[in-house]
A and B are shown apart, each in its own frame.
Chain A
């Protein structure tokens, strides 16, 4: 908060930093007085009683003090030294020599990621010594890949076209319910339903996208949020069709291109001469979602090079300039919505077939927010970034839960999933404050004239979107 410009004498710096830290601690004390200090609990007589937690408040205040003090004391020094360095280097640093480690990292990251993703079940089996014990890890991989796919789908709308969609989970729901209903009511197989679910979700994307086209920025975001909630509430209340809050049970499982995963004659194991194991299906699901996610990525990368992809990016940068250059913003926005929704629909029908059970609870606003957090923290528009963010945000808390020392340090009742969303929220704020372009953001111009110049993300000013 104190943006002192000149580097004063060390003593006054220290005093100022101490003062800053003390102020921060004082504010923290004020913030935490009722809400952290006094915990409300249900007593035996079902009345609320208060349980004071003075120690916790003191810990928080001390933490804030240390944080503010360090930021303020070392922040000034760091900023000054950086400014001096920046003045020394001056301008040429911007134009040519920028794509150093970042570019190398992203060029290395892609094959590495792909390699790990493809061999992941094998690695899990080797590490756990067998197919059955590695079930947890492969399930986790499926979960992460689902979010990678959702993140990539939303990335088309948010990252490429610059339209903030807060109701993305609605299309996920449309996909899931399409498969569940078509399969349970009409007995269609997964392989027919998958494209149908995608088409239906795309159709809904167009339908919901149409009225919001005139809106921009924040209003568009809020309307998509409203649509997402309306779809969820309709799913809850339209009991005749959707089964209401109880959801849809016993959704038929997918087959291996017609060969069911059953133990008997004609099943997957028997056909390929393997010993039957329930894990075959799980491994199959893993590769299915991997392929779906890669298709999403591939299509997005190809679309980026098509005129429509260029139009998306132009729209993101400046809508007015875009319109004045004769780009049809209506169809550009609609295609972004529809294609983003289509991938959401694919992911949704995969979700339904994997779970075998869906209910509206899986499609609440929080889910949209998590997907959005993945896209935002991955650096909007960056495919690799989204994948990394999904691994960290979805896989991270799961891993933390299994670390023994965390439990030993923080007590048995410690459950990182409780703090997961809390950290997501903080992460989104921190991201916007420090790195609004994402952790590994670099935004190369898609079209270049004569020579290629990398432009650092901070130089690109985003227009109205």
Chain B
């Protein structure tokens, strides 16, 4: 029981991170129907930006307050990564509208390879550890066998930040004119353009928002694990994509739900079955979901148009 509750907490934390990345996949797929394969590497890049920003803030500027430092780091990571997201869309995806169907995916794979190797060349191939930022834990209760269920401050921060950002994001998509434009483009890009919506700008902003949320995930990832390497984009990216598909690609609540489910499955699998095969589990879920329920839990089934 104690183990289960502990894993539940860990799984939800991990799931929040996956959910934040998954939103980037699902929004882009919803609006232009492409799998943004480079999104996982954007996430990795943002973790590096956060790492460097953290070092600057603590070592050079000497800001002692962890809360303030974390806040600054997150804002910097969001801004820089948003710029990266914008540039990537501009350079690698926008010229491909109207090209053949696989072109954006191939371009995205190229971008993904470029990004991970760019970070490797620019920052070196070694793991980059930082001293733990937040260490305190709250012990919830101790079981009869002496196993303690603990909720760390890190986990609280991650879940709280995720919840706050998702609320803001939800508000943007549902209530603002940008959100309306986005949903219109999602339904029918041509009609939206005829009604005076700047489709290119809307798509750009979608990438910017997706990258900014990935940057939050990157900062949280750094906070949680305290280490990042250039190869860290691939597997979390695939898992987040799995989350997006599982929740129903194109559906925003679906992405978060899928993220939480994937996070839970991963931690439970590691705890109860085998930790070696946890990535096999993730990839298997991806394959199974795509093959047997491609419209996911909350998604609309795709109608084949001739």
Contact B106 A428 (CB under 8 A): yes
Task: Quote the shortest CB–CB distance from B283 to chain A (angstroms).
Answer: 4
* A428–B306 CA distance with the chains assembled, in angstroms: 30
Of all chain A residues, which has the CB nearest B118?
Answer: A422
Residue A39 lies at the interface, judged by CB distance under 8 Å to chain B: yes
7 contacts between A and B (CB under 8 A): A48-B128, A48-B130, A162-B102, A211-B291, A215-B294, A223-B287, A432-B99
Contact A433 B49 (CB under 8 A): no
Contact A425 B106 (CB under 8 A): no
Residue A376 lies at the interface, judged by CB distance under 8 Å to chain B: yes
Residue B192 lies at the interface, judged by CB distance under 8 Å to chain A: no
Contact A425 B115 (CB under 8 A): yes
A236 / chain B contacts, CB cutoff of 8 Å:
276
* A432 and B287 contact, Cβ closer than 8 Å, known pairs A38-B56, A39-B124: no
Residue A217 lies at the interface, judged by CB distance under 8 Å to chain B: yes
Residue B142 lies at the interface, judged by CB distance under 8 Å to chain A: no
B130 / chain A contacts, CB cutoff of 8 Å:
48
A33 / chain B contacts, CB cutoff of 8 Å:
80
Contact A34 B76 (CB under 8 A): yes
* A366 and B110 contact, Cβ closer than 8 Å, known pairs A215-B291, A422-B121, A432-B96: no
Contact B95 A433 (CB under 8 A): yes
Given known contacts A42-B126, A50-B59, A227-B283, what 5 new A-B pairs fall within 8 Å (CB)?
A27-B83, A27-B87, A164-B105, A226-B286, A373-B113
* A34–B283 CA distance with the chains assembled, in angstroms: 33
- In chain B, positions 101-125 with a C-beta closer than 8 Å to chain A are 101-107, 109-115, 117-124
Contact B123 A40 (CB under 8 A): yes
A349-373 interface code vs B (CB 8 A; 1 in, 0 out): 0000000000000000110010011
Interface residues on A, range: 35 or more
Task: Quote the shortest CB–CB distance from B78 to chain A (angstroms).
Answer: 12
Q: What 6 pairs across the A-B complex have the smallest Cβ distances? A: A428-B110, A425-B114, A462-B100, A425-B113, A432-B107, A422-B117
Residues of A within 8 A of B (CB): 1, 27, 30-31, 33-36, 38-42, 47-50, 162, 164, 166, 211-212, 214-215, 217-219, 221-223, 225-227, 229-230, 233-234, 236-237, 320, 365-366, 369, 372-373, 376, 418-419, 421-422, 424-429, 431-433, 436, 461-465
A42 / chain B contacts, CB cutoff of 8 Å:
126
Residue B280 lies at the interface, judged by CB distance under 8 Å to chain A: yes
* A219 and B109 contact, Cβ closer than 8 Å, known pairs A38-B52, A42-B126, A233-B283: no
Task: Quote the shortest CB–CB distance from A156 to chain B (angstroms).
Answer: 16
Of all chain B residues, which has the CB nearest A24?
Answer: B87
Of all chain B residues, which has the CB nearest A47?
Answer: B131
* A418–B122 CA distance with the chains assembled, in angstroms: 11
Residue B151 lies at the interface, judged by CB distance under 8 Å to chain A: no
Residue B137 lies at the interface, judged by CB distance under 8 Å to chain A: no
* A257–B234 CA distance with the chains assembled, in angstroms: 44
Contact A436 B99 (CB under 8 A): yes
Of all chain B residues, which has the CB nearest A163?
Answer: B102
B103 / chain A contacts, CB cutoff of 8 Å:
432, 436
* A120–B160 CA distance with the chains assembled, in angstroms: 64
- In chain B, positions 7-28 with a C-beta closer than 8 Å to chain A are none
